[in-house]
Amino acid sequence: MTTVLDAIIEGVREDLTSRMGRTSLETIRAQAASRPPALDAHHALSGGRDDAAGVRIIAEVKRSSPSKGALADIPNPAALAAAYQAGGASIISVLTESRRFGGSLTDLECVRGAVDIPVLRKDFMVEEYQFHEARAYGADLVLLIVAALDDVQLREFLILTHELGMNALVEAHTVEEIERAAAVGARIVGVNVRNLKTLDVNVDHYSAMAHHLPQEVVRVAESGVAGPDQVLDYARQGADAVLVGEALVKHGNPTAAVRSFRSASLAKEAQ
């Protein structure tokens, strides 16, 4: 049976084929090589794991989603990213998938030019070309979705990511996927509480998965954040960082929203 994830990847491959027809792999590799070195996203998310700093926020530039449709009109992604950084975000996530998320590589490039913290290319990475492309447009971090890759691809893509100087957020949803991420040496592991095959969300899913995460990895809770209380909940369950999209783009004051999420996470020690 075809899943939502399968359908998304089919579209990603079609769009990728079109881009590869316009710009060769050799050219995109050269463009990637000409960029300044990638920023250290692993350090940005761990930072010595100082509890006094609270959880790190990965703040997302996200116009729409397959589950919710249009979320926000974002005419100036650079300004939004700068507002996130002003609020204390550690990383800016930029959706670059166009069909269902309304993103683009142009958004990524604009955001990279507007902030001096690491930038995540959030997309469905299924071919080598995309990794050089990510670096060419300024990404410091890429997303590797375990459910979308076999073990050979996962390992080879993680190696390629590191060879290009970037880090990878390796996303899992099940215990088996967490184990697969650990087996290839992932240093940053996210648990998405949204099942990408069905788009169902269960905010309690992080709690169920948290104790399966290796202690040495940076642990990221993804999705399901409606407000500060959920950030605090994830922090109490051991998350080092929380990825937030919809709640930020719909807030109206992104700087204040990021600040409130950071502040909320500090309460895990006080209560």
Q: Is 176 a catalytic residue?
A: no
Instruction: Identify the active-site residue in 93, 109, 122, 265.
Output: 122
Q: Is 250 a catalytic residue?
A: no
Instruction: Identify the active-site residue in 46, 62, 64, 246.
Output: 62
Q: Please provide the size of the chain in residues.
A: 271
**Residues forming a β-bridge with 161:** none
User: How many Cβ atoms are within 10 Å of 49's Cβ, its own excluded?
Assistant: 10
Q: Is 156 a catalytic residue?
A: no
Instruction: Identify the active-site residue in 97, 109, 222, 246.
Output: 222
Instruction: Identify the active-site residue in 64, 65, 167, 223.
Output: 223
Q: Is 223 a catalytic residue?
A: yes
Q: Is 122 a catalytic residue?
A: yes
Instruction: Identify the active-site residue in 46, 60, 64, 246.
Output: 60
Q: Is 62 a catalytic residue?
A: yes
| 213: CB partners within 8 A, 6+ apart | 178, 189, 191, 219, 238
Q: Is 207 a catalytic residue?
A: no
Instruction: Identify the active-site residue in 64, 192, 195, 265.
Output: 192
Instruction: Identify the active-site residue in 97, 109, 133, 171.
Output: 171
Catalytically active residues, by annotation: 60, 62, 122, 171, 192, 222-223
